[in-house]
Amino acid sequence: MYMAYKHFHLLMAVLSVSFLLLRYAMSLKPAAMLQHKFFKIAPHVIDTLLLLSAIMLMLTIQQYPFVHAWLTEKLFAVLAYIALAVMAFRGRTAFIRGLCFLGALGWLGLAVRVAITKQPVFLPAF
């Protein structure tokens, strides 16, 4: 089951990032498609499935945030990614939205690095 959860999690992660990139690109020039119901609902469904698959993986490998440093750091990186991604769409100016978008990608990069290496960058090993 581990491999099935892992591949599903990776698929949802790719879809989540793809939707972020697509929606951000569409937001640069107001696009009528962005107001379509699909683009409002799909990211929430994908992110929910991503979270559920992460929980299933966590339970399968029996490693938990606040117990294992790498998973704690990945959790914080994902939370920062989410916060900045939200601000990339709700920021007051185009400059702030752009900075938030780049920041979100940076935190996403950290989450990917930590997920691959299982080694935290900022947190000391517990």
The one-letter amino acid at 8? F
pTM score of the predicted model: 0.88
CA distance 33 to 39: 8
Q: What local confidence, expressed as pLDDT, does residue 30 receive?
A: 79
pLDDT at 84: 96
pLDDT of 31: 77
Residue with tokens 């900045």: 84
Residue 126's pLDDT is 63
What is the pLDDT tens value at each position of the chain, 126 positions in all? 999 999 999 999 999 999 999 999 999 987 788 889 998 899 999 999 999 999 999 999 999 999 999 999 999 999 999 999 999 999 999 999 999 999 999 999 999 999 999 999 998 866
Question: In the prediction, which pLDDT does 125 show?
Answer: 67
Indicate the Cα dihedral angle 86, 6, 77, 120, nearest 10°.
Answer: -170
